[in-house]
Amino acid sequence: MADSDLFIDIVIIAMYVLLAVALGVTVWSAVRGVRRRQRRKSTRIGYSVAAGVALLLVVTYLLGSTHPIVSNGHTFDNPLWLRLTDMFIYSSIILIIVCSAITVIARFRR
């Protein structure tokens, strides 16, 4: 077993721990938000943003490619992971563009 294999295991374990923490914080935040729910404009904006991001993820998943990819001599052909990869790439690009546009608009609006 090479030293690099040890580091790969540590990185994978760290990713699982971070994923578990992120999911836990998300559930905690959602429960806390529902308990404190009030009829305010900010609440409607928050729910609209959450619904928009969920819709964006669904649409970009459905538009993702299932064409096999060859990387470093290995062929990757699992349709689920190919679509998920495309979903995260496209969603990230779209969200960065939208956030940049909103920042520019807000800057010159005042």
pLDDT digits (tens, 9 = 90+) for 34-85: 777 766 777 778 778 888 999 999 999 999 999 998 988 889 999 999 999 9
Has residue 1 got a pLDDT over 60?
A: no
Poorest-confidence range of 17-31, 43-57, 96-110?
43-57
Domain ranges of the chain: 1-37, 40-110
Q: Which helix (H) or strand (E) holds 19?
A: helix 3-35
- Confidence (pTM): 0.66
The answer to whether the beta carbons of residues 65 and 82 sit under 8 Å apart is: yes
Has residue 92 got a pLDDT over 70?
A: yes
List, for residues 6-18, the tens digit of each pLDDT value. Answer: 788 888 899 999 9
Q: Where residue 86 falls among pLDDT bands split at 50, 70, 90?
A: very high
CB contact burial 1-16 (16+ within 10 A = b; e otherwise): eeeeeeeeeeeeeeee
Has residue 33 got a pLDDT over 70?
A: yes
Has residue 103 got a pLDDT over 90?
A: yes
Interhelix angle 41-62/79-109, rounded to 10 degrees, is 140
Beta bridge partners of 76: 69
